[in-house]
């Protein structure tokens, strides 16, 4: 976009099944460690044994601040766990790391007016809704907490981040199913490009490992089956034996900054946000059209807005959730967009994390940024049998990360309702 402000990434923060903290999570990803575990073993009295799929990408927790684990005391003030839903708690933790990483925790009053938040969630707090309903049925109005409504609203992650740090710029929340994280980052980038802010904290959070959520996804036959005794093998994007996605939880946060502003304060720059494309399928609430026309439109739009060619893209972090139809359609869409797709590295980090629903796009954007910065394509785990006869004939980075020059990379996110988004990140060039 000629004449628009350039936007760069200056801070990263993550809460994920493969670890809490950028260093820990990235190391886990490139070393091929899985964060998918048994819900029955982790939470034996929660009723997960009633369900056909009993596994999830679970954020590791501790009460001793062990490296790579989530400890609410490290990022929340006393009382926050009672007044904030779990998805907001994850968001606060990821935001704290990203802002510290960017060295943007105590800007002045004038700078805070030019700093905003764009943070979303796909589902919000289903747990608080179901729990409060049961309490109301059992004890009436007196059992309902005055924090019930403030806890469940989808904009509360954005609101609490803004309140904690006193950010007075744009305060925006996205909720577009599994495309939420990518939309939040893309929208935040546009706020900066159009001069509404100099700095934006962008991302998404999800914490829906809740019995009703898994029951709902089970009912539409979306979840992986047959891996309750081997959870780490369940998420297998592009593999012939993929059977559905593995639900996950977590949050990802990125500090986006106007280039001139970042350079003036000597900020470290991870990568440049070059492109953002979005589209609608206009087809079906859960299934993509054959050939992935909507996905193609999003990718082409992102590459066009980045003002680069498809030949400049070296890595694609695919949405690929490990469903039979979704992976096939996205694979077809990638091959349609990239005439020389055989030279690409294409992988799905969901093979390690599971599908983080609304937070997926934010967490995967972080992995894409790090792929560009470090020239490493993360692996696709569990890719044992690729069915070339069904069109799967690309380099899906099976099992082991690949070192390769990555000047630009694209990441995809697609959601129920037929909503699609793609982001392009590139090495920063002065």
∠ CA 250-254-259 to the nearest 5 degrees?
A: 170
DSSP element (H, E) containing 253: strand 250-258
Residue 300: which of 347, 334, 343 has the closest Cα? Answer: 334
Question: Torsions phi, psi of 101, nearest 5?
Answer: -60, -35
The Cβ of residue 266 has, within 10 Å, a number of other Cβ atoms equal to: 7
Please say whether the beta carbons of 383 and 364 come within 8 A: no
Gap between the Cα atoms of 350 and 367, Å rounded: 11
The burial class, CB within 10 Å (0-12 / 13-18 / 19+), for 427 is middle
Q: Which of 331, 174, 157 is nearest to 239 (CA)?
A: 331
Residue 123 structure tokens: 């589902």
Q: For residue 311, with 0-12 CB atoms within 10 Å meaning exposed, 13-18 middle and 19 or more buried, which class applies?
A: exposed
Measure the CA–CA gap between 2 and 312, rounded to whole angstroms: 19
- Angle among Cα 331, 335, 337 to the nearest 5 degrees reads 115
Angle at 334 between CA 253 and CA 270, to 5 degrees: 30
Asked whether the beta carbons of 191 and 185 are under 8 A apart, the reply is no
Q: Which residues are tagged catalytic?
A: 178
β-pairing verdict for 345-347 and 313-317: parallel
Question: 205 and 159 in contact (C-beta within 8 Å)?
Answer: no
């Amino acid at each position: 976009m000629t004449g628009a402000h350039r936007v760069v990434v200056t801070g990263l923060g993550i809460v994920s099944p493969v670890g809490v903290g950028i260093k820990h999570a990235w190391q886990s990803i490139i070393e091929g460690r899985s964060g998918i575990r048994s819900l029955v073993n982790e939470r034996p009295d929660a009723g997960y044994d009633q369900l056909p799929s009993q596994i999830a990408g679970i954020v590791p927790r501790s009460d001793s601040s062990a490296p790579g684990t989530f400890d609410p005391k490290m990022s929340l003030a006393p009382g926050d766990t009672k007044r904030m839903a779990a998805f907001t708690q994850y968001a606060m933790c990821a935001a704290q790391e990203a802002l510290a990483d960017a060295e943007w925790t105590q800007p002045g009053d004038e700078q805070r007016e030019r700093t905003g938040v764009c943070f979303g969630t796909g589902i919000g707090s289903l747990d608080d809704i179901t729990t409060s309903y049961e309490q109301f049925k059992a004890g009436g109005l007196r059992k309902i907490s005055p924090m019930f409504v403030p806890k469940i609203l989808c904009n509360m992650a954005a609101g609490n981040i803004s309140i904690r740090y006193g950010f007075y710029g744009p305060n925006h929340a996205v909720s577009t199913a599994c495309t939420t994280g990518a939309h939040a980052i893309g929208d935040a980038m546009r706020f900066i490009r159009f001069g509404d802010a100099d700095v934006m904290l962008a991302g998404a959070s999800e914490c829906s490992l809740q019995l009703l959520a898994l029951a709902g996804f089970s009912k539409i036959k979306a979840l992986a089956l047959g891996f309750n005794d081997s959870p780490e093998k369940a998420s297998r994007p592009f593999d012939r034996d993929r059977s559905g996605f593995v639900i996950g939880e977590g949050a990802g946060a990125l500090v986006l900054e106007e280039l001139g502003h970042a350079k003036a304060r000597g900020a470290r720059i991870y990568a440049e946000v070059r492109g953002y494309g979005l589209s609608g399928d206009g087809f079906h609430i859960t299934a993509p059209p054959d050939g992935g026309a909507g996905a193609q439109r999003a990718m082409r739009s992102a590459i066009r807005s980045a003002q680069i060619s498809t030949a400049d893209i070296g890595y694609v972090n695919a949405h690929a959730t490990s469903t039979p139809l979704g992976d096939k359609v996205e694979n077809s869409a990638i091959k349609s967009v990239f005439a020389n797709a055989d030279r690409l590295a294409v992988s799905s980090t969901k093979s390690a994390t599971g599908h983080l629903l609304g937070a997926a796009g934010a967490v995967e954007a972080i992995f894409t940024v790090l792929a560009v910065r470090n020239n490493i394509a993360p692996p696709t785990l569990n890719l044992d049998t690729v069915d070339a006869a069904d069109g799967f004939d690309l380099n899906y980075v099976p099992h082991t990360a690949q070192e390769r020059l990555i000047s630009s990379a694209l990441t995809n996110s697609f959601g129920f309702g037929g909503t699609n988004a793609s982001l392009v990140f590139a090495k920063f060039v002065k």
